[in-house]
């Protein structure tokens, strides 16, 4: 089997870390224990899958050895076992090939989620609010935390734009393919003739950068404070709790007014600023690599129309992979795994093909 030697080594390393976690010296060192625990968790899925493969392969070998038995009933049972185990082995091998792909180093990161109403006026702002609610509902199922840093309401109760920090387990790995233009087709509540209108919003998913990756010097920024606006009680329009940070060299501007505390707003705004600067650096790297060798991280231009939500037909279409679902009502309630799984599988398959093609050229 391909990767067998490497998988054997990973299994040995996994067992070593399991033993280390029972060592009193490691248990007493909290930082070391967390480090080993995380490394072991990263290997667990692939090791468990490899052990499953070895058990199935052993079953196959035993059944093949019984094909030459003099007992006809035993031979028939052996063939039935082979017919059952062979497809399972093929599936496990495919799963292992995917698990052996190089991991996206950004997958573990939290994200900054930006949603902005585009063409369509009030209807676009209403859809922006619904899409944000869709992501919040999905986040709840994943036990993620969503913190709104800034938002701008429309006159009809929608959102002109909203910026939120989403933190939890492997947030970027699930949301990274959501950047782009999301188009909606439906009859607006204000439409008298029953005509279907088309509106659009933009979604951006930025991996959150930590201070080590993107260091922002005080001399590189200007910080302004102003009164918060919108709901919030007595502090609104009376205290300068809202914060606006301008990164002088790039002209990047970030505002945060979600918290009543200026210190907390500044901390949130700095998280967003670092993520935007991180995205700029990532884009420079992608441009340097060249179009033919770019990975699918971020899925390219955020102006690309990636998905259409057709309400009259209860239909969702993801244009990048040709996926069509007639379950739009469920999707809008946050049932997004079917879409995310399909996107992940599609881009993993593309990467496997690119890698195998590169191996062929190298050979």
Q: pLDDT tens digits, residue range 319-357?
A: 999 999 999 999 999 999 999 999 998 988 887 777 665
Residue intervals of the chain classified under CATH 3.30.160.20 are: 218-286
Q: Which residues pair with 205 in a beta bridge?
A: 113
- Name the token pair of 32: 């070391």
Residue intervals of the chain classified under CATH 3.30.70.1660 are: 111-211+294-351
Give, in order, the Cα–Cα distances in Å from 22 to each of 25, 29, 126, 303, 332. 9, 12, 54, 51, 45
The pTM of this model reads 0.68
Q: Which helix (H) or strand (E) holds 203?
A: strand 197-207
We find that the CATH architecture of domain 218-286 is 2-Layer Sandwich (3.30)
φ, ψ of residue 355 in degrees (nearest 5): -65, -40
- Name the token pair of 115: 């949603």
> How deeply is 274 buried, as exposed, middle or buried, from its count of CB atoms within 10 A (0-12, 13-18, 19+)?
buried
Task: Write out the E strands in 211-355.
Answer: 221-226, 242-247, 252-256, 305-310, 315-318, 323-325
Structural contact between residues 167 and 175, judged by C-beta atoms closer than 8 angstroms: no
| pLDDT tens digits along 122-164 | 999 999 999 999 999 999 999 999 999 888 999 999 999 999 9
CATH of domain 111-211+294-351: 3.30.70.1660
What was the pLDDT predicted at 52?
95
Which residues in the chain show pLDDT less than 70?
1, 190, 192, 210-213, 228-239, 285-303, 355-363
DSSP assigned state of 43: H
Q: What is the DSSP string of 259-302?
A: SS-HHHHHHHHHHHHHHHHHHHHHHHHHHHH-GGG---GGGS-T
Residue intervals of the chain classified under CATH 1.20.58 are: 4-99
We find that the CATH architecture of domain 4-99 is Up-down Bundle (1.20)
């Amino acid at each position: 089997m391909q990767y067998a030697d490497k998988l054997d080594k990973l299994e040995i390393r996994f067992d070593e870390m399991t033993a280390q976690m029972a060592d009193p010296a490691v248990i007493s060192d909290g930082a070391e224990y967390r480090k080993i625990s995380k490394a072991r968790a990263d290997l667990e899925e692939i090791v468990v899958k490899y052990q499953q493969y070895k058990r199935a392969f052993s079953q196959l070998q035993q059944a093949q050895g019984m094909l030459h038995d003099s007992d006809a009933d035993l031979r028939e049972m052996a063939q039935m076992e082979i017919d059952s185990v062979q497809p399972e082995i093929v599936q496990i091998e495919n799963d292992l090939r995917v698990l052996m792909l190089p991991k996206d180093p950004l997958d573990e990161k939290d994200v900054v989620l930006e949603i902005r109403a585009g063409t369509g006026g009030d209807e676009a702002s209403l859809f922006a609010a619904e899409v944000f609610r869709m992501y919040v509902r999905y986040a709840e199922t994943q036990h993620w935390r969503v913190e709104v840093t800034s938002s701008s309401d429309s006159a009809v109760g929608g959102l002109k734009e909203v910026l939120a920090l989403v933190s939890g387990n492997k947030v970027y790995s699930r949301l990274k393919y959501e950047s782009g233009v999301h188009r909606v087709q439906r009859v607006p509540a204000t439409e008298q003739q029953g005509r279907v209108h088309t509106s659009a919003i933009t979604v951006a998913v930025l991996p959150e950068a930590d201070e080590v990756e993107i260091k922002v010097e005080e001399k590189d920024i200007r910080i302004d404070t102003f009164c918060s606006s919108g709901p919030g009680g007595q502090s609104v329009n009376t205290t300068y709790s809202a914060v606006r940070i301008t990164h002088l060299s790039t002209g990047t501007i970030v505002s945060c007014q979600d918290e009543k505390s200026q210190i907390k707003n500044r901390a949130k705004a700095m998280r967003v600023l670092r993520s935007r600067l991180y995205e700029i650096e990532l884009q420079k790297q992608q441009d340097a690599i060249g179009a033919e060798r770019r990975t699918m991280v971020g899925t390219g231009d955020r102006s690309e129309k990636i998905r259409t939500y057709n309400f009259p037909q209860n239909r969702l279409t993801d244009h990048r992979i040709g996926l069509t679902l007639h379950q739009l009502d469920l999707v809008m309630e946050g049932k997004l795994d079917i879409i995310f799984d399909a996107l992940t599988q599609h881009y993993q398959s593309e990467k496997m093909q690119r890698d195998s093609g590169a191996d062929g050229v190298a050979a």
